Amino acid sequence: MPISKSIRPYFDISMPKTQNKASNREIMKGKIQKLIGSLLISTAIIYLVYFITMGGGAEVLPVYNPTDFNPELVDVSLQQESEDHTVADFELRNQNDSIITQNDYKNKIYITDFFFTRCPSICPVMTNNMAKIQDRFIADPDVMLLSVSVTPKLDSVAILQEYSRKHGAINGKWNITTGDKKHIYNLARKSYFAVVNEGDGGLQDFIHTPNFILVDRQKRIRGVYDGTKNEEIDRLTQDIKRIL
């Protein structure tokens, strides 16, 4: 039976053309989706590489409290404290006979160590490594250093001035300080946790550690490093960059 003229148009050759157009649109749509997907993946990879390269992917530095230290380094009054520790205010005298306080380090990141100029063993190594840190951040005003003598009666301003000149301490960048012995002892035992005990009351009775203490802008301790080891100085350098 012949197909009537009234229904023949539905079987016209134009029908496959419409299907072809729809198919082409679907193919083009699929290609666009794949292209967008590839671009998103590429962008994600770029951001990931940047994030890791810039240190953003690194683990956040801890905040240290008294309970994180060997109890021998912590004053008995603080040995049970496990949160919210900050460095106390201080008043010291530097190599230029200027009074140095916490205000000089306000909103700064700084490294503290305890030493004495007559120390024949670890102190020269520690001081040389403090100089390395100074050199690495010489152009960054947000990074400072603080060295505190544990023999303040022996380490006069004149002696500290010569000591700082010998080791290249930059004024305003690295303060090498002396002060009241009891005040320094309290700082070491109650703020920085860097000496063992006061000893027998002699001129050199502080038993200090080789530790470098990293302090952030909020006056919190963020790291402790052996100031006599090169690999520890490299680790400290990286950690400073992480909190800048």
Mean pLDDT of the chain: 84
What does the pLDDT look like over 60-83, one tens digit per residue?
Answer: 999 999 999 999 999 999 999 999
Q: How large is the average pLDDT for residues 16-25? A: 59
Residues 6+ apart with CB under 8 A from 229: none
Position 34 scores a pLDDT of 63
Position 5 scores a pLDDT of 47
CA–CA separation, 133 and 143 (whole Å)? 9
What does the pLDDT look like over 22-44, one tens digit per residue?
Answer: 566 666 666 566 655 554 564 45
Q: How large is the average pLDDT for residues 208-234? A: 97
What does the pLDDT look like over 163-220, one tens digit per residue?
Answer: 999 999 999 999 999 999 999 999 999 999 998 865 544 555 567 899 999 999 999 9
What does the pLDDT look like over 83-137, one tens digit per residue?
Answer: 999 999 999 999 999 999 999 999 999 999 999 999 888 999 999 999 999 999 9
Position 47 scores a pLDDT of 43
Secondary structure (DSSP) of 159-225: HHHHHHHHHTPPTTTEEEEB--HHHHHHHIIIII--B---TTSSTT---B-SEEEEE-TTS-EEEEE
Position 64 scores a pLDDT of 98
